[in-house]
Amino acid sequence: MLKGKTALVTGSTSGIGLGVALCLARQGANIVLNGFGDSEGPKAQVAALGVKVGYHGADMSKPGEIAQMMSYATEQFGGVDVLVNNAGIQHVANVEDFPVEKWDAIIAINLSSAFHTTRLAIPGMRAKNWGRVINIASVHGLVASAQKSAYVAAKHGIVGFTKAAALENAKTGITVNAICPGWVLTSLVQKQIDDRAARENIAVDVAKRELLAEKQPSLQFVTPEQLGELALFLCSPAADNVRGVAWNVDGGWAAQ
């Protein structure tokens, strides 16, 4: 389905981003990976699917580096057809205790980076009159939790950004949508589970069950593969008129 197209997934060296990148690659998309940590392992996983793979280590909090990454994609891959804005971080604290530098980093990485990648990707998509922008928001783009003010603000922001960008491109072949996952068992969530286990002096498995029971009625973690399959649907012709939605995949979290 995506043969000959290029997908750039930010924050794709682990977790949801890597899962989505692998799903897109299975459908033939060439992949530009991004993110911190080991890039060789993820690159090898994508390459094993028989597509072209590249990597750029741009820091998503730095607009200049984001511009370099987008130029790299144009020079090496002929542009970006599917842009998945996924890179994200978390910090948990009450507003009055929230470190200012953490607030700034969360807004920069979880929200502003998507503005920069999207503004740089749209001209190329317009030239081809086809494009898909998929923002990995969160159920926290729809509802809030205490102690996550920066994350909730950034995720609500990206849902708003999704709608505005979708409207601007509504008469074109470019769609812009958001996916809003509930709990997915990645390093970002494992840290919250470990913190809870330490805080409450309970086993990690018990902390994991508590975390789910508190918010996610299915009591199951969403998987990166399930999110990748939704991203694939959003890339398909069946989704040509899905525009500006924030689609939660959250085990019933936001239905409560």
Instruction: In angstroms, give the least distance from the CB of 230 to ligand NAD.
Output: 13
First-residue to last-residue Cα distance in the chain: 36
DSSP 112: I
Out of 35, 79, 244, 251, the only residue in the binding site for ligand NAD (CB under 6 A) is: 35
Candidate residues 50, 101, 171, 187; the one interacting with ligand NAD per rule CB under 6 A: 187
In the chain the beta strands, taken as DSSP E runs, fall at: 6-9, 30-34, 53-56, 82-85, 131-136, 174-181, 246-249
Q: Which of 77, 103, 151, 183 is catalytic?
A: 151
Whichever of 127 and 191 has its CB closer to ligand NAD, that residue is 191
Least Å distance, CB 209 to ligand NAD, is 15
14 binds ligand NAD (CB under 6 A): yes
Q: Is 55 noted as a catalytic residue in this protein?
A: no
Total count of residues recorded for the chain: 256
Backbone region of residue 15 per phi and psi (left: phi > 0; alpha: psi in -120 to 50; beta: other values): left
Task: Output the CA–CA distances (angstroms, integers) from residue 176 to 9, 173, 184, in the order listed.
Answer: 14, 10, 23
Kindly write out the interface string for residues 109-148 of this chain, putting x where it contacts ligand NAD by CB under 6 A and - elsewhere: xx-------------------------x-x----------
Give contact residues for ligand NAD (rule: CB under 6 A).
11-17, 34-37, 59-61, 86-89, 109-110, 136, 138, 181, 183-184, 186-189
